Structure 1
Amino acid sequence: MNWRMPAETAPHERTWMAFPREGITLGEEPAEREEGYATWTAVAHAVAEFEPLTMVVDPTELTRARRMLSSEIEILEAPLDEFWMRDFGPTFVVDDERPGVLGAVDWIFNGWGAPEWAEWRKSAEIARFVAAQVGAELVSSVLVNEGGGIHVDGEGTVLVTDTVQLDPRRNPYADRARVEAELARTIGTNHTVWLPRGLTRDYDDFGTNGHVDIVATIPSPGRLLLHHQPNPEHPDFEVTRELRELLADTTDAAGRAWDVIDLPAPETLRDHEGFVDWSYVNHLVVNDGVIACGFGEERADASAREILASAYPGRRVVSVDSRPIFARGGGIHCITQQQPVVAR
């Protein structure tokens, strides 16, 4: 098999999401829960303006999902405990030597390192469920990994972080060579760019320990969008400066030096939990569009849309208020997963 994960900018068959269900992530208070349901629904409707969307729904939430989601959105029932589809869902791959064949990588998912609070065993089965629904060949992996922990250019390059793939709570016996070999086998990459860490907030109890999809992404080969924290009062000021310096000494799989584009953070520095990790990097590319995170800051949100529109020519950029998603540990990219079109 010659599996390859296409770039997110390649044409999509559809996007997958998981509908929230009651539990620690959604929130204890009724208002918190309603906020979560409403935000996941808003993202789903934004995506559905551009391409088909399928929502996996826990049996306990079917009535609510059918009430809140438009009739255009397909609903599939399956047991869930978490609802971050990027992380526990399949990573879709294609085989360029076998037209029409879709693959689905089933990473081992242990709730971002099996923290005490996490409920993840039901959602760990979802990659296989989704693969069966679309008739994809299952690509089983021995690597504990999440879709938010990788970004590819579709041409051999993958971005990862030391604190995710080499996390002793995930892969206690892994080293860089083993991780790179498994990524080559499953998603077809041959050049790995290792970032030393992610954003500060992502190392809190409810964080992922450094997912790359909140830090950097590859909008086109040879180009990087990098989270930029311009305020020295925020700890990510130093983090992002150091990442930019490190990336200056790296290339993509083709040997090109990166054209690094700063994507500045909004002005807000803190919420009631501490320093925020609000990031416009955590967007989803869809057919003819980009679903961007919004943070209630008109000027910063508009500036981010301009940068994204320039990075993805010909795509319409729309914002969805993502503060409720970030309050729960992620962003728009984290709750979505694209299924590429396969060549026939």
Structure 2
Amino acid sequence: MSTFRMPPEWAPHARTWMAWPGLNPTFADAAELARAREAWAAVAHAVRRHEPVTMVVAPGDAASARALLGPDVDLVEQPLDDAWMRDIGPTFVTDERGRLAAVDWVFNGWGARSWARWERDALVARKVAALADVPVHPSPLVNEGGGIHVDGEGTVLLTETVQLGPERNPGWTRAQAEAEIHAKLGTTKAVWLPRGLTGDHAPDGYGTLGHVDIVASFAAPGVVLAHSQPDPDHPDHAVCRELIALLRAQTDAKGRPLEVIEVKAPTVTRDEHGAWVDYSYINHYLCNGGVVLCAFDDPRDEEAAALFREVFPDREVTLVDAREIFAGGGGIHCITQQQPAAGA
């Protein structure tokens, strides 16, 4: 019997999948939508320099996508509600022979958020799996790709407010959720964080209720990049101190103590409406030979880029303005989903 596991993001990719924004509660008017599409296109172009990109577009939106994406990005049509491919797409896994499969988590609009629609998005994972010509491994767990991060050697990062939250999986115990995650991802050790960033929990914001991929991510086996908020007035200052201390007290599936590299948040702490922002460099994307890193027109952008060049010396680091993506509730990692290379 084959054993499937989720490869780490730094493993070779066959391609990247994305979804094209359309008018919806996240992008509610033409001006917002236009800005979002330009941001999505900038990310697609940055990734395309390193590997193929396929953009899922809703029927009727192909012309707008082609105008901004050009001829180098593949387009496929599929009804959509929103545009966060990390969460609505499948989680690809491989077996010991390098054969691919796709995990199809249950998607319920990030915990049935009041503004979310998900009837169409809940079908996207199977559509992408069919286009990739890989079998589907269905899961009964409500989960999203932004709620997990793996090291490829048995360790997975999770947050209690996501997999254990009543909005997603009422009645599930920690042991049950962990067992399902391990069964689908091939992991053996879960490192649970109690929550995510403050802005991601805003009751009236476009948050996910605590995705881990804005807080912490593996850079290599045993090495975790962690969001740090230096401003003591920001509510995430205390949150980050707690999470970083927790991570430093953990070991991975191989028994190694986790090395934690702190990544300072941008200097901007509030948006134009005065709300706390959760701008984070952790929400980056690794593609073949590259790192696509969130930028915020902030003095710390170049500091973060220099740190990522040290952490990933064999990869080209590209900064892409992510403020419009964050205005919609996510970042660069949230709008991309890797398909591992078969046989890798």
Q: TM-score, normalised by structure 2?
A: 0.97
| 2:99 aligned partner | 101
Give the Cα–Cα distance (whole angstroms) in 2 for the partners of residues 168 and 196 of structure 1.
14
Give 2:236's aligned residue: 236
What residue number does 1:245 align with? 245
Establish whether residue 215 from structure 1 lines up as the match of residue 179 from structure 2.
no
Give, as a single letter, the amino acid of the residue that structure 2 aligns with 1:7.
P
What stretches of structure 1 move > 4 A for 4+ residues in a row? none
Structure 2 match to 1:269: 269
Once the two structures are superposed, residues 90-133 of structure 1 have per-residue CA deviations (whole angstroms, 9 ceiling, x without a partner) of 0000011xx24211000000000112211111011000001011
Structure 2 distance, partners of 1:266, 1:83, is 25
Native 8 Å contact 1:21 1:60 kept in 2: no
Report the Cα offset of residue 60 of structure 1. 2.6
State the SS of the aligned residue for 1:116. Answer: coil
Residue identity matched to 1:315 = R
**Residue identity opposite 1:82 in structure 2:** D
Q: How does 1:1-344 map to 2 (within 5 A)?
A: 1-28=2-29, 30-96=30-96, 99-204=97-202, 205=204, 206-271=206-271, 272=273, 274-297=275-298, 299-343=299-343
Deviation of 1:248 after TM superposition, in Å, equals 2.0
Secondary structure, aligned partner of 2:112? coil
> Is the CA contact 1:45–1:70 (under 8 Å) kept in the aligned structure 2?
no
Q: Give the AA of the match of 1:155.
A: E
Contact kept in structure 2, 1:201 and 1:275, CA below 8 Å: yes
Q: CA deviation at 1:142?
A: 0.5
Q: Which SS does the other structure have where 2:324 is aligned?
A: helix
- Give the root-mean-square deviation of aligned CA atoms: 1.0
Residue by residue, what CA displacement relative to the aligned partner does 1:52-84 show, whole Å, maximum 9, x if unpaired?
A: 000000013111112111211100000001110
Please state whether the residue corresponding to 1:194 is helix, strand or coil. Answer: strand
Work out the number of aligned pairs and report it.
Answer: 340
Distance 2:60 2:133 in 1: 26
Give the gaps of 5 or more residues in structure 2: none
Matched to 2:192, the amino acid is: W
Question: TM-score under structure 1 normalisation?
Answer: 0.97
Matched position secondary structure for 1:2: coil
Residue 20 of structure 1 and its aligned partner are, at CA, apart by 0.4
SS in 1 for 2:109: coil
- More displaced 10-residue stretch of structure 1: 144-153 or 54-63: 54-63
Separation in 1, partners of 2:274, 2:131: 39
Question: Whole-Å Cα distance in 2 between the matches of residues 32 and 77 of structure 1?
Answer: 22
Q: Is the 8 A contact 1:94 1:342 kept in 2?
A: yes
Deviates more, 1:66-75 or 1:218-227: 66-75
Q: CA deviation at 1:31?
A: 2.1
SS in 2 for 1:127: helix
SS at structure 1 position matched to 2:138: strand
SS of 2:233's partner is coil
Name the CA distance, whole Å, in 2 between partners of 1:250 and 1:60: 49
Q: Deviations over 1:254-277 (max 9, x none)?
A: 111111101000100100150000
Which residue identity is paired with 1:54? Answer: T
